[in-house]
Amino acid sequence: MIRCMQPDLVAQIKAGEVVERPASVVKELLENSLDAGARRIRVEVQAGGTQLIRVVDDGEGIAPEQLELAFAEHTSSKLHTVEGLESIGTLGFRGEALHAIASVSRVEAVSTSRESAAAARLVIDHGLRDELAPAPAAGGTRISVHDLFARVPARRKHLRSNRSEAMAIHQVVAQYAIGHPAVAISLESDGRPSFASPGTGQLADAFAAVFGSDVAGRMLPVHAEGDVGVDGIITPPDISRSNRSGMMVFVNGRPVKSPALTFAIEDAYSGQLMAGRHPLAAVAVTLPTADVDANVHPAKLEVRFTNDRKIFAVVRSAVATPIQSKASVPVAAVSQHPWQADPVDSRSQEPRRSYPDQVRFPVDRPSAATPSMADALPALRVFGQSAQTFIVAEGPAGLYMIDQHAAHERVIFDELTGTEARPPEQGLLEPVQLELSDRQMDALEAHGQEIAGLSFMVEPLGGNWCVVRSVPMVRNRTVEAEAVLEVLDALEVGASAEEVLRQAIEIVACKAAVKAGQVLTMTEMRELVSQLERTAHPRTCPHGRPTTIHISLEKLEREFGRR
Ligand SMILES: Nc1ncnc2c1ncn2[C@@H]1O[C@H](COP(=O)(O)OP(=O)(O)OP(=O)(O)O)[C@@H](O)[C@H]1O
Ligand SMILES: [Mg+2]
């Protein structure tokens, strides 16, 4: 029998589209605060947003007599006509977010508009008005969402752990903070401050607040003007990640998922990124509102462009500019570093353990930009070790220096990714107890299977403690139990099982590989080089750094004045 659905059921179904998880509520509330012209926004969450999500802003506010209307279905101050839909200039426009949120939680809203002296306080409990009363005016708006999904078991069931939900919230707030650098946005989770952007208007400052000033300080600015404007910061090709979680794209201040724009950004590196590596980037595109359709996704996560080819081309070229100018700076010009000043000197009395970082060899570094980079290594004749770190070898086209650690990492990485069998498991006589951070706990919860697949046996002990009972044995060496921590740090929660495994193997390969500063016998070095020659990508380690530096014969002849 066909019957009309009950109104509260309809409301919950519709709310499902907008409010999928606590992070979606945070997103909607942040958008409202930004649309209200706030200069300062404070986000506070408890228990991954399931107990409390509170967003406080100093925006233009809602007049007391309008407060209840804001929570009614299809009400908005932003969009009233079909023509308006043609050029949406605000983040919100659907007039449904507050209604949807209030139908799946208990919401308390306190707001004052700039014009009115008084404020009102409204409580809506799962769609039903509980209270509407005057309140002392404080300026701006404060919305508190309690017990989200408490009465929606279907939704609750699909929530991840509080930690995972808190991480998703962190990502959302971070995105808006970076996308709106002129607004000071802060996040506090379970009473602990996560980050606070300063609101200086500089994208780099907001980025630094979220990712730390170390990374932010090394990033390259992106800027292009025109009817399609581009602003942003990106990492140089030598800083990359194995996932795309550090890539953010904004269109008119709206963070969007756009595989095409993400591709345009990566494409701008024109091969300088290793396969499987991705930059960190925050790129904001500004264009006339009429040229972009924001109304294509229920949660407003995607947009459609009138002229996407043009936009991708502009973004690509804007991003390529700083990368190219960076690339044109010679890494080591011959004239600046004459060969004789090079500290690699076989006649020096004492073998040196390490060389200062700034010492650069006057050689052609294999450039990842050239496709021949992926080419196989020629057969090499090993004749020595330098600084207990580099294997020195000769090939048909000159001299080769091989970084023993990077080479070994490549060999082990290929071995572990190439086989179905997991590495043998070595039980620990004394199991190692480790305390994990919240993020690490989360990663363990999400990817325990992949970690076990690499022969780490890790059991939770309660709280944030766990015990490692066995570790993988790689090439007759056991990997230390503490490597689990690094593996967990590297995993991106939500990545595909394949990607997770790759990230974990990268760490295990690094841990199991010989270190710099380790003396190797000729036999060991020959063996390592011949194994490296057999790998699919012998010239780079799994992180994308070179394993091998080639000094061509021509170069040697030139240096010695024979040419
Ligand atoms: N923090 C706030 N400050 C000032 N006004 C607000 C705030 N939050 C909501 N409002 C008002 O309440 C209205 C309804 O908000 P709601 O989020 O439900 O819809 P919307 O933002 O117009 O569209 P969307 O559903 O796409 O978010 C808004 O149009 C706005 O006028
Ligand atoms: Mg809104």
Tally of CB atoms within 10 A around 477: 14
Ligand 1 mutation target, pool 76, 116, 142, most atoms within 8 A of CB:
76
Is 338's pLDDT higher than 70? Answer: no
As a whole number, the mean pLDDT across the chain is 84
Sign of CA pseudo-dihedral 454, 456, 458, 464: negative
Closest by CA position to 502, among listed 513, 490, 512: 490
Ligand nearest to the CA of 71: 1
Which of the 8 DSSP states describes residue 364? Answer: B
Taking the C-alpha atoms of residue 503 and residue 321, their distance in angstroms, rounded to an integer, is 30
Write the CB contacts of 385 (distance below 8 Å, at least 6 apart in sequence): 391, 392, 404, 519, 520, 525
Q: Please compute the mean of the pLDDT values over residues 327-343 and round it to a whole number.
A: 32
Query: How remote is the CA of residue 175 from the centroid of ligand 1, in Å?
Result: 20
Q: Which residue has the tokens 């300062």?
A: 40
| Domain of 113, in residue numbers | 7-196
In a domain, 425, yes or no: yes
What integer pLDDT is reported at residue 275 of this predicted model? 72
The more confident residue out of 29 and 8 is: 29
Instruction: State phi, psi for 400 to the nearest 5 degrees.
Output: -130, 135
Domain annotation covers residue 396? yes
Question: Is position 231 within any domain?
Answer: yes
| 202 CA → ligand 2 middle, Å | 25
Residue 348 has a pLDDT of 34
Atom 19, ligand 1: residue with shortest CA distance: 95
* pLDDT at 213 (0 to 100): 80
**2 is a domain residue:** no
pLDDT of 496 reads 78
Ligand 1 atom 7: residue of nearest CA: 32
Q: How is residue 546 annotated by DSSP?
A: B
Among all bound ligands, the one having the nearest atom to the CA of 70 is: 1
Please tell me whether residues 281 and 386 are part of one structural domain. Answer: no
DSSP 543: T
Please report which ligand is nearest the Cα atom of 31.
2
pLDDT digits (tens, 9 = 90+) for 76-103: 888 888 887 777 889 998 889 999 999 9
CATH code (residue 135): 3.30.565.10
What's the DSSP call for residue 481?
Answer: T
Over the stretch 155-198, which tens digit does the pLDDT of each residue have? Answer: 888 888 898 899 899 999 999 999 999 999 999 999 989 999 99
User: What is the CATH number for 307?
Assistant: 3.30.230.10
Query: What is the CB < 6 Å shell around ligand 1?
Result: 28, 31-33, 36, 57, 59-62, 70, 75-78, 92-99, 141
Are residues 416 and 484 both part of a single domain? Answer: yes
Mean pLDDT of all residues in 267-294: 87
Q: Which domain CATH number covers 451?
A: 3.30.1540.20
Half-sphere exposure in the Cβ direction for 477 (13 Å, CA): 12
| Model pLDDT, residue 18 | 78
Do 263 and 387 fall within a single domain? no
Q: Whose CA is nearest to atom 1 of ligand 1?
A: 33
Q: pLDDT tens across 489-519, in order? A: 888 766 777 788 888 898 899 988 999 988 9
Question: Which numbered atom of ligand 1 lies nearest the CA of 96?
Answer: 25
Distance CA 154, CA 12 (A): 11
Percent of all residues in the chain with a pLDDT value above 90, rounded to a whole number:
41
> Of 325, 341, 358, which residue is a domain's last?
325
Yes or no: say if 386 and 403 are a contact pair by the CB < 8 Å rule: no
174-178, 207-211, 284-288, 415-419: range with lowest mean pLDDT: 415-419
The mean pLDDT value for 134-157 works out to 90
Residue 210 lies in a domain: no
Q: Which helix (H) or strand (E) holds 548?
A: strand 548-552
Domain assignment present for residue 280? The answer is yes
Are 409 and 510 within one domain?
Answer: yes
Residues 418 and 553 in one domain: yes
Taking 60 as the threshold, does the pLDDT of residue 3 lie above it?
A: yes
258/133 same-domain check: no
Please give the pLDDT value at position 111: 95
* Gap between the Cα atoms of 86 and 78, Å rounded: 13
Which atom of ligand 1 is closest in space to residue 98's alpha carbon?
Answer: 18
- Cβ neighbors of 504 (< 8 A, separation 6 or more) are 447, 450, 451, 454, 487, 490, 491
Q: What is the pLDDT of residue 79?
A: 84
Question: What's the number of domains the chain is made of?
Answer: 3
75 C-beta neighbours (distance < 10 Å), count: 15
Note whether 374 and 316 are same-domain residues.
Answer: no
Same domain, 377 and 251: no
Residue with tokens 């196989």: 376
Please state the atom number of ligand 1 nearest to the C-alpha of residue 101: 18
406 and 529 fall within a common domain: yes
Instruction: State pLDDT tens for residues 375-407.
Output: 578 888 999 999 999 999 998 888 999 999 999
Q: Please give the share of the chain, as a percent, with pLDDT higher than 70.
A: 90
Per-residue model confidence as pLDDT tens digits over 96-121:
999 999 999 999 999 998 888 889 99
Q: Which residue of 18, 57, 98 sits with most ligand 1 atoms within 8 Å of its CB, as the best mutation to test the pocket?
A: 98
- pLDDT tier at 369 (50, 70, 90 boundaries)? very low
Predicted local confidence at residue 352, as pLDDT: 33
Q: Which of 233, 238, 237 is nearest to 211 (CA)?
A: 233
User: Do 181 and 257 have their domain in common?
Assistant: no
Final residue of a structural domain among 298, 325, 352:
325
Residue 209 forms part of a structural domain: no
Whether 145 and 239 share a structural domain: no
Separation of alpha carbons 340 and 505, rounded Å: 40
- The C-alpha R_g of the chain, in whole angstroms, comes to 28
Collapsing DSSP to helix, strand or coil, 555 comes out as: helix
Q: Which atom of ligand 1 is nearest to the CA of 300?
A: 26
What is the tens place of the pLDDT at every residue in 188-226? 999 989 999 999 999 999 998 988 887 788 889 999 999
Do 235 and 190 lie in one domain? The reply is no
Q: Is residue 535 within 8 Å of 392, Cβ to Cβ?
A: no
To test ligand 1's pocket by mutation, which of 28, 32, 300 has the most ligand atoms within 8 angstroms of CB?
Answer: 32
pLDDT tens, residue by residue, 298-326: 888 888 898 888 999 999 999 999 988 76
Confidence bin at 441 (pLDDT 50/70/90): confident
Q: Which of 262, 294, 325 is where one domain is finished? A: 325
pLDDT tens sequence across 245-263: 789 999 999 999 888 899 9
Contacts of 338 (CB under 8 A, 6+ apart): 362
User: How far apart are the C-alpha atoms of 411 and 404, rounded to whole Å?
Assistant: 11
165 CA from centroid of ligand 2 (Å):
21
Q: What is the pLDDT of residue 545?
A: 82
CA 36 to centroid of ligand 1, rounded, Å? 8
- Taking the CA of 42 as reference, the closest ligand is 1
Answer whether 520's CB lies under 8 Å from 411's CB.
Answer: no
**Residue 352 located in a structural domain:** no
Q: How confident is the model at residue 421 (pLDDT cuts 50, 70, 90)?
A: low
Which of 294, 324, 246 has its CA nearest to residue 91? 294
